[in-house]
Structure 1
């Protein structure tokens, strides 16, 4: 139906007719195109649409309007509808004179992007910019029209919330059905006696009864029990975040038999980042989910195998007859690999407050949990942390929540957060920052309802209502399971290259730059001591490890040939 479609509002000036024709030619089937001419008329129409309950996906305004510019117009849009994507449409004749102002406005987040109005057919650069924004809107705001995974659960089910978060981070469109829905009943009957909620039906048709995030993840990519016996991978990559995915792409593309093992969502914590704006090659930014999704697909097409849902529990040297193989163990399964790349990343630290941690999944979340942002509509939300992930989460949540408060121990966010995020936070009216403040307590009846906040300078505590708490508290590695032969620093990060203890050097020479104290075992990304803890640097290390892997494999072949 016409009114069920998301809306694209076109605010035109001199080129209104050309703009409307261009949008209708491409988007009229899936979106409701609402053209209007003039600054005041545009704002009035947006207000009317919001009052009607329409979902506004995009507002595109011509730069030169009758009562101002697109910058002034788009600045006022979030006060009416915060989740709409905002685009300035610039004519070629106005482009040069307006470029500096447009760049500054985009930098200050007065708009999502600006594009030149097409002067002819098939302007694919123009439509690429629009499609990217509409795609991100559809993922983060709109509900999917086509789903690949169904979840049947009771309202408020924490396991279902964790499953949805996993699916959102991996870019799998999904829908949540109540047990009373007709389609849910069909699924429950198909499973038969003993069906337990939540139920998850994956894109393969497989149904998981009594599902958890781990069992759902395993069902998506096939269980570890399906690894054929006798498999020897050239490279086993432990961790499917940016570093592990980059290593997988390069290893598989160069003909190496590549296996990736991830305990959680392929994409790691990066998959929960709502928008990464400073990643090379994406001038309009890219969500962590989309970056991880594209990398996963790319690696898969080169032949990399993915297994998720269980953590690696041990890596051990092979027996006497295959001493240079590493045995990779997960619960109930194992496989062999000639080399291992450790790319486990890090995990967010817990608050360690019983009343708060008891409500994980019920208003309290560790990580950005972008899937829950829609549930925070009109609510009071708190974000704990001062890094880039916390800033991205706050900006995304602010599109839905009534207020977002960032809590940080430090005196200033500028000490730990990128400048572009600071500018966005300062420009977002419903975000406030409380420095030198920590969560001292919290609780609620089955759902987060309140927090007690402590000022670290004065010791003063204040109690406040809270509907959501998103904790991005800095990170710590999960390396306790590694064999004693893998050297760690005092914080538990993996040592590589010249950073390993000198007594572990061989004949006075350190391991290769990304190699650990165990020959053939490498570490990349956030888990490695001394790494930059950034998505781009993690991806770079994942790519950089491949020459070292090749060198190690060449030495193995030389020894075998020599024997």
Structure 2
């Protein structure tokens, strides 16, 4: 078997030559290296006979070829359990191969196959390359001279081996904003991944030829494909997530896949409307980052925002809804009885009606230095997976609403200490009582009221917070490496044109809120009827959920408005046909 090689990534895609097939197999690898093909086949035959049901046997006929195979296997996240190398090989001896292989697969057991005349070399290799064992040729019968030795070594390896991994490997510095963005994208789209850095990433970076930090962050896929500094769209396409519309026309396009958008999509699809659901990042919206929603109807034990979002997405797809990820709509323009929606990539679709469910995003922290450290210690919102990275650390949470309370309780399962910073004198002003009681009962969570963050400091990442206490007028500097911000939200409506009426905070006005004091429609309204309850100032475009002015900012309320919007879409379509 020849080696696997790959070109150095230059900001795009690199594919490591596929020598092991597509998806990552669950079985660890036993790699044999011998330049004598007859011997090589005999070793592989004996190994497969005894270990073929538990391990995958791979052959190489030279040291350089074997190293190339190891680089490929490592880049794919496959585990190598055993290296069995012949000593007398031209160009690179077995000892030389095992020495270099240690950098790629340090945990693999190393066995040297040698002749009686080379036993002194084999004995020296026990110290030089941490050789686990050497075997003399011939090894017949294998039941006596081969299997007992390898059984013991593989048992030792199995006890210390990590669990197999079959997802994406993410390489990037912990305090990189780009790495953080990729982590959030993969987690929220429920794409299995592992984030390697430091010593744990050395072997994979070497195998994928990503030793230059300028090439990070990077993703290594199970089939060996390497994406250096990829966009979210690059990753989505490589993961098989649809990013472009499959048709030029739809009955209804739903913009935003939070609870309101998912509610609209499910009801529209179930009622026979050809529906397109468009999301910039991941389904679930802001609610999708919630570790546990406990007051949503029908889930007495609670449900995570991610699970609720994926259930709703699967339900929408079941009803024929087409779902796009990393797709951004930049304009909605009238086109006869329809509406043209233009995407950032230059494409466009036409729909009879549109539901805007773009939700809100967290307000930025108004503290000196906060923007500088965004993604490098300062985070807006928190996906549940972030708590795992905070094990035994001290975590600061800014905010006093339900989202902040849910995050604090989730972090408390892993962090050594969680400090909640609240401007108000009492967290009960904006938080549900069931959360307040649990926070007060926690030995891990400390609540500091009347406190604000006025400055964020550090070198390459967050290291200190300057806090202000409004009750005393004093300031305090505390050590901190992670700050999670939940301080209100603003709507995502900047991209909409002037034809869309908004309130002073940017939320979309709909229905009765558009009428003047005499109950008349707004100027420029082209229809004789008044706007429907969720209809925007542009006919045929409806708003649902948090993006709508005066909406109830609750998951149940958003889902309800999403469903109601579809009822109004039907009414609108009946009036235009």
Give the TM-score range, shorter chain: 0.5 to 0.7
Q: Which moved more, 1:297-306 or 1:235-244?
A: 297-306
Q: Which residue of 2 aligns with 1:512?
A: 532
Q: Which moved more, 1:328-337 or 1:448-457?
A: 328-337
- CA 1:436 to 1:260, structure 2 compared with 1: closer, same or farther past 3 Å? same
Shift of 1:305: 1.6
1:176 and 2:190 aligned = no
SS of match in other structure, 1:449 = strand
Q: Which residue of 2 aligns with 1:67?
A: none
Q: Which residue of 2 aligns with 1:530?
A: 550
Q: Which residue of 2 aligns with 1:90?
A: none
SS of match in other structure, 1:251 = helix
Alignment length, in residue pairs? 408
- Contact persistence 1:246–1:542 (CA under 8 A): yes
- CA 1:386 to 1:251, structure 2 compared with 1: closer, same or farther past 3 Å? same
Q: Which residue of 1 aligns with 2:171?
A: 152
1:361 and 2:382 aligned = no
Shift of 1:366: 0.5
Q: Which residue of 1 aligns with 2:334?
A: 317
Q: Which residue of 1 aligns with 2:42?
A: none
Shift of 1:548: 0.9
2:184 to 147, 150, 165: 165
- CA 1:382 to 1:511, structure 2 compared with 1: closer, same or farther past 3 Å? same
- Contact persistence 2:175–2:377 (CA under 8 A): no
1:401 and 2:419 aligned = no
Q: Which moved more, 1:328-337 or 1:504-513?
A: 504-513
Q: Which residue of 1 aligns with 2:576?
A: 556
SS of match in other structure, 2:462 = coil
1:337 and 2:351 aligned = yes
- Contact persistence 2:188–2:289 (CA under 8 A): yes
Partners of 1:343 and 1:144 in 2: how far apart?
40
Shift of 1:531: 0.7
Q: Please list, as runs of the form range in 1=range in 2, the aligned pairs for 1:72-471 lying within 5 A after superposition.
A: 147-178=166-197, 180=201, 182=203, 185-186=206-207, 188=208, 196-201=215-220, 208-213=227-232, 215-217=234-236, 219-220=238-239, 222=241, 224=243, 226-228=244-246, 231-318=248-335, 322-471=336-485
Partners of 1:556 and 1:146 in 2: how far apart?
54
Partners of 1:479 and 1:383 in 2: how far apart?
27
SS of match in other structure, 1:176 = strand
Shift of 1:535: 1.0
Structure 1: stretches of 5+ with no match in the other structure: 1-142, 558-563
Partners of 1:145 and 1:356 in 2: how far apart?
39
SS of match in other structure, 1:519 = coil
- CA 1:347 to 1:203, structure 2 compared with 1: closer, same or farther past 3 Å? farther
Shift of 1:459: 2.2
Partners of 2:390 and 2:356 in 1: how far apart?
36
TM-score (norm 2): 0.66
- Contact persistence 1:221–1:308 (CA under 8 A): no
- Contact persistence 2:260–2:545 (CA under 8 A): yes
Larger helix fraction of residues: 1
Q: Please list, as runs of the form range in 1=range in 2, the aligned pairs for 1:50-65 lying within 5 A after superposition.
A: none
Partners of 2:276 and 2:256 in 1: how far apart?
10
SS of match in other structure, 2:448 = strand
Shift of 1:355: 1.7
Shift of 1:219: 4.5
Shift of 1:209: 2.9
Shift of 1:171: 2.4
Q: Deviations over 1:476-523 (max 9, x none)?
A: 112121121111112110011111133426677431111111111000
- Contact persistence 1:234–1:338 (CA under 8 A): yes
Partners of 1:204 and 1:258 in 2: how far apart?
33
- CA 1:205 to 1:314, structure 2 compared with 1: closer, same or farther past 3 Å? farther
SS of match in other structure, 1:295 = helix
Q: Deviations over 1:121-156 (max 9, x none)?
A: xxxxxxxxxxxxxxxxxxxxxx99654433233454
- Contact persistence 1:241–1:269 (CA under 8 A): yes
Structure 2: stretches of 5+ with no match in the other structure: 1-161
- CA 1:201 to 1:498, structure 2 compared with 1: closer, same or farther past 3 Å? farther
Partners of 2:500 and 2:163 in 1: how far apart?
45
SS of match in other structure, 2:332 = strand
- Contact persistence 1:221–1:307 (CA under 8 A): no
1:485 and 2:499 aligned = yes
Shift of 1:214: 5.2
Partners of 2:231 and 2:369 in 1: how far apart?
23
Partners of 1:361 and 1:388 in 2: how far apart?
23
Shift of 1:218: 5.4
What's the Cα RMSD here? 2.7
- CA 1:220 to 1:204, structure 2 compared with 1: closer, same or farther past 3 Å? farther
- Contact persistence 1:170–1:271 (CA under 8 A): no
Partners of 2:471 and 2:362 in 1: how far apart?
25
Shift of 1:223: 5.9
- Contact persistence 1:218–1:307 (CA under 8 A): no
Partners of 2:240 and 2:297 in 1: how far apart?
29
Q: Which moved more, 1:291-300 or 1:205-214?
A: 205-214
SS of match in other structure, 2:338 = coil
Shift of 1:175: 1.2
SS of match in other structure, 1:166 = helix
- CA 1:309 to 1:507, structure 2 compared with 1: closer, same or farther past 3 Å? closer
- CA 1:420 to 1:326, structure 2 compared with 1: closer, same or farther past 3 Å? same
SS of match in other structure, 2:333 = strand
Partners of 2:536 and 2:163 in 1: how far apart?
44
Partners of 1:376 and 1:194 in 2: how far apart?
24
Partners of 2:223 and 2:531 in 1: how far apart?
44
Select the structure of larger CA radius of gyration. 2
